[in-house]
Amino acid sequence: MGDGSLSQDEIDALLQGADDMLSTSSAAPAMDMPQKAGLLSPVEKDVLAELLNSTMQTVVPSLAGYLGRDIVISNAVVEIKSQDAVRNDIKKKCIQLPIDYSGGFNGKNLIIFNFADAEVISSLMMGDDSGARPAELTEAHQSTIQEFVNQMLSSVATGFSNRFGRSINTSQPVLSIVGKASDLQLPPGRDLVKITYNINVEGLINSKFYHIMELQLAAELAKVKGSAGGASQQAMQTHSYDALESAGQQVGINPVKFPPLGESVPYGAGSNISLLMDVPMTLTVELGRTRQLVRDILGLGEGSIIELDKLAGEPVDLLVNGKLIAKGEVVVIDENFGVRVTDIVSPAERLNKVQ
At 85, is the pLDDT very low, low, confident or very high (cuts 50, 70, 90)?
very high
Strand ranges in 142-273 using DSSP code E only, listed in sequence order = 168-170, 176-178, 191-201, 205-214
Residues 47 and 41: their CA atoms lie apart, in Å, by 10
Strand ranges in the chain using DSSP code E only, listed in sequence order = 71-82, 94-103, 107-114, 168-170, 176-178, 191-201, 205-214, 283-286, 316-320, 323-333, 336-344
Structural domains of the chain sorted by starting position, each given as residue range(s) with its CATH number in brackets: 42-226 (3.40.1550.10), 311-355 (2.30.330.10)
For the segment 204-249, what is each residue's pLDDT rounded down to a tens digit? 999 999 999 999 999 999 888 766 554 444 444 444 445 545 555 5
At 330, is the pLDDT very low, low, confident or very high (cuts 50, 70, 90)?
confident
334: left (phi over 0), alpha (psi -120 to 50) or beta: left
Q: What is the CA radius of gyration of the chain?
A: 31
Given this model, what pLDDT does residue 176 score?
Answer: 93
Given this model, what pLDDT does residue 32 score?
Answer: 36
3-state secondary structure of 48: helix
- Does the structure show a pLDDT above 70 at 266? no
At 260, is the pLDDT very low, low, confident or very high (cuts 50, 70, 90)?
low
- Does the structure show a pLDDT above 90 at 192? yes
For the segment 245-257, what is each residue's pLDDT rounded down to a tens digit? 555 555 555 565 5
Q: If you average pLDDT over residues 98-127, what whole number do you get?
A: 93
Among 82-86, 131-135, 166-170, 331-335, the minimum mean pLDDT is found in 331-335
pTM value surpassing 0.85: no
- Report the first-to-last Cα separation within the chain, whole angstroms: 99
Q: If you average pLDDT over residues 194-208, what whole number do you get?
A: 94
Cβ atoms within 10 Å, residue 208: 15
| 309: DSSP letter | S
Looking at the DSSP assignment, which residues form a beta bridge with residue 211? 111, 195
Given this model, what pLDDT does residue 276 score?
Answer: 67
Among 93-107, 144-158, 263-277, 302-316, the minimum mean pLDDT is found in 263-277
Element (H, E) at 241: helix 230-246
Contact yes or no for 294/125 (Cβ under 8 A): yes
Q: If you average pLDDT over residues 28-41, what whole number do you get?
A: 50
Q: What contacts 49, CB < 8 A, 6 or more positions away?
A: 76, 77, 78, 195
- Does the structure show a pLDDT above 50 at 277? yes
Residues 54 and 56: their CA atoms lie apart, in Å, by 6
- Does the structure show a pLDDT above 80 at 322? no
What dihedral angle (degrees, nearest 10) is formed by the CA atoms of 127, 128, 130, 133? -130
Given this model, what pLDDT does residue 23 score?
Answer: 46
Given this model, what pLDDT does residue 30 score?
Answer: 39
3-state secondary structure of 285: strand
What single-letter amino acid sits at 193? Answer: V
235 vs 344: which has the higher pLDDT: 344
Cβ atoms within 10 Å, residue 140: 14
3-state secondary structure of 180: coil
Contact yes or no for 88/33 (Cβ under 8 A): no
Given this model, what pLDDT does residue 314 score?
Answer: 84
| 236-250 core/surface letters (b: 16 or more CB in 10 A; e: else) | eeeeeeeeeeeeeee
| Angle at alpha carbon of residue 315, lines to 311 and 317, rounded to 5° | 110
Given this model, what pLDDT does residue 223 score?
Answer: 86
User: Taking all residues of the chain, what is their mean pLDDT, rounded to a whole number?
Assistant: 79
At 293, is the pLDDT very low, low, confident or very high (cuts 50, 70, 90)?
confident
What percent of the chain stands above pLDDT 70?
Answer: 72
189 vs 254: which has the higher pLDDT: 189
Q: How are beta strands 168-170 and 176-178 bridged, if at all?
A: unpaired
Among 135-144, 157-166, 267-276, the minimum mean pLDDT is found in 267-276
Residues 93 and 206: their CA atoms lie apart, in Å, by 17
